[in-house]
Chains A and B, each alone.
Chain A
């Protein structure tokens, strides 16, 4: 299915309208600029206890803010010594986890570990109020907002290490005792949650570990096994036969890799018998072979740096893509010409050319930043080693060639209206984009919690397990 149909701007009508879909290639240039810096979600983790928002009168927090001691008398249910971490748990990851060590269970052993919201009443046990949960050491019950609580796990006391965690993939809370999972419950609370610790009888004292020290529970191993569960669900899906064949063939047609296509056709013909495309998954190839020879020729020219020749041919064969020299394709080709001049050191000529041909794009949003980066090449002794060195790489030439390719494909008169943007991407690329978008959507359904989708995890972490 196509992306948003571009209303009036169709390149093949020759109506002078910019094919806005081709602006996509400018985004690809920008992608190269940022490199593959993995998107850092920039979330800070809890590191210590929050001494400001705590049940000040009932407890005392140590100077290092990693332990808490009950100092009150425990006369009723509203003098709990409860304290939260200094920050809420980060959410853009698979899990969050922290631990407490019960140094002294005091008179009644009413220690608790859990999660609460920022607005929590700081005199109650986690789990005694709505939108909070807590695993209590005195009865081993799990409380989640209904005064009563339910049997959950073993009690815990002096010298026990107890952990509390959130699994964002399954949207569950889980708790551990002395390195072993005790149990898990669905997480019905939305939004940011603070790791919370509570003490409620005299002399109770608890140490907290937010990750500075090694955990008793193997959280890493737990994450691995959770990821494996997800992976196994994926691996169960049956793959339509020969779908790969269709994707590769249309990919080769799309980019105009004629020789490779010939090699592929030859190879697949000799598989005995020829690959039988399952009708139900027939991928629409016909439009992809449009103007194959011309696209191949143009790609060659761009690759060889013969930009002038490329522009001449493009004007001759597909004037509508060149329009009045203001199209995205023109822009990219002019940039490339400039780059080629810089590459061989003809800086003066480059500047002249840039002033002549690129200046008109300045001021048009979407082009300016790239022009500036381009011109930056002039500044460096060794431009290929500079931060803008990516312009000189082969991959950038390919990008320009791809844009020309897409522009030509867009002139295909046989294209049905709904496919206006299909020239932009091969089916394979569309599939990848669909995947990315769907994963983002899934995460947003989870309240934007959980790991970011990273394509490279699939590309690289391809285990040999079947």
Chain B
């Protein structure tokens, strides 16, 4: 009876520890955990890749500004880091600016918010997808407590995390670095291969893949 993994094959599979360490290291550097990366390097004796420390520091600051509801600051630093990055990534630019609008609404600075929307966000409105997004954001103004609006997710930290991730990856791509970590690629790869095995062999032989289940125990 086939269990999640055929034990015979499993036993023969030996993974090089250096690969594991380097996967973790690349995750840490991608997400700007530079002190953790330093500590890991001295713990494992694994050398850190000669990554651009300046780039990491700046990305770190930029991401933090997004998370701390200082989207304009993030935009400013991004433009300093890479002049034409936001120009070339209008969707991202719009999302960041819209975040600032949300920040103003949350701070109850409604007049400022409207002013900002008129002068900065409206010009994007020539493109349809931005119109929708703009209208979503504007709807927040209608509520005394924006948290109670159907668009409350725009205020959430999860949404900010999403935008921050997007910004992080865009900066990495712009500076010719991989925008996805090997760890993510591995997760994707396992998922694809397992899907293939289930499709080709049926659910009895290969139960549908659950990352969570495969990571238990």
Please give the residue numbers on chain A whose beta carbons come within 8 Å of chain B beta carbons, in ascending order.
1-4, 24, 27-28, 31, 36, 233-235, 237, 239-241, 243-244, 246-248, 251-252, 255, 257, 259-260, 263-264, 266-268, 271-273, 276, 280-284, 394-395, 398-399, 402, 416, 418-419, 422, 425-442, 445, 455-456, 458-459, 462-466
Contacts and interface: CB of A to CB of B under 8 A. Distances in A.
B183 A244 contact: yes
A438 B10 contact: no
Task: Tell me if A's interface is mostly helix, strand, loop or mixed.
Answer: helix
Contacts of B186: 431-432, 435, 458
Contacts of A259: 39, 43
Given A431-B215, A437-B6, A464-B173, A28 B14 contact: yes
Contact of B45 (A272, A395, A434): A395
Centre residue among B40, B178, B196 by max chain A CB count within 10 A: B40
Nearest to B184: A239
A283 B213 CA distance: 9
A1 B212 contact: no
Interface residues of B, number: 71
B190 A272 contact: no
Contact of A427 (B13, B36, B215): B215
A241 B161 contact: yes
Contact of B31 (A240, A244, A276, A458): A244
Given A28-B17, A427-B215, A466-B179, A442 B196 contact: yes
Centre residue among A243, A266, A281, A464 by max chain B CB count within 10 A: A464
A276 B160 CA distance: 12
A235 B188 contact: yes
Contacts of B176: 464
A46 B43 CA distance: 50
B14 A263 contact: no
B27 A430 contact: no
Contacts of A432: 15, 19-20, 23, 186
Which 3 pairs between the two chains have the least Cβ-Cβ distance?
A4-B7, A1-B4, A419-B217
A19 to B, nearest CB: 14
Contact of A280 (B31, B36, B212): B212
A459 B189 CA distance: 12
B102 to A, nearest CB: 15
A246 B192 CA distance: 21
Given A257-B44, A466-B173, A433 B13 contact: yes
Contacts of B33: 263-264, 267-268
Contacts of B217: 1-2, 284, 416, 418-419, 422
Contacts of B180: 235, 462, 466
A462 B187 contact: no
Interface in B80-95: none
Contacts of A31: 14, 16
B22 interface: yes
B23 A1 contact: no
A241 B14 CA distance: 28
A260 B44 CA distance: 10
Contacts of A429: 15, 20
B11 interface: yes
A429 B10 CA distance: 12
25 contacts: A24-B11, A36-B16, A234-B185, A234-B189, A239-B184, A244-B184, A248-B28, A255-B44, A260-B40, A264-B33, A280-B212, A283-B216, A429-B20, A431-B190, A434-B214, A436-B13, A437-B9, A439-B193, A441-B6, A441-B197, A442-B197, A455-B15, A456-B19, A464-B179, A466-B169
Given A257-B40, A395-B17, A428 B182 contact: no
B72 interface: no
Contacts of B179: 464-466
